[in-house]
Amino acid sequence: MSKDTKAVGHEDGAATGRRLPQRRCVACGASDAKGSLVRFVRGKDGSIACDPSGRAKGRGAYLCAREECFGAAEKRARLGAALKCQLTGEDYQRLHGEFKAFCATQGQKV
């Protein structure tokens, strides 16, 4: 028997009057609309993945869709810190690939 309780998300308390939720890049600290940042999520099993939908369950961390920010996050281990886990070089390599793929799709929309 599996419980499929839908977690009622905590709305950002101070979001009154804001049209778009703002998120902060863990590398450079810039805030931007959620949609223009890349979300990374730590799943239940502890695996980290890029989350293009921005809606995957789990602890999330955001980065600007810029190479610089990914590079800075890797160099300073910001992504692992934000997701409260250890990321290896291999993890970063894999995530970088997903990150670049996501940025490419973003670019097409502009």
Interface residues with Zn ion (CB under 5 A) are: 25, 27-28, 30, 64, 69
In whole angstroms, how close is the CB of 39 to Zn ion at the nearest point?
13
In whole angstroms, how close is the CB of 31 to Zn ion at the nearest point?
10
Nearer to Zn ion, 73 or 87 (CB): 73
Nearer to Zn ion, 35 or 43 (CB): 35
Q: Let me know the angle formed at the C-alpha of 55 by 18 and 103, rounded to the nearest 5 degrees.
A: 90
Distance of CA 45 to the CA centre of its chain: 17
Instruction: Give the whole-angstrom CA distance, residue 81 versus residue 5.
Output: 29
Nearer to Zn ion, 15 or 30 (CB): 30
State both tokens at 104.
């490419």
CB 12 within 8 A of CB 21: yes
In whole angstroms, how close is the CB of 36 to Zn ion at the nearest point?
10
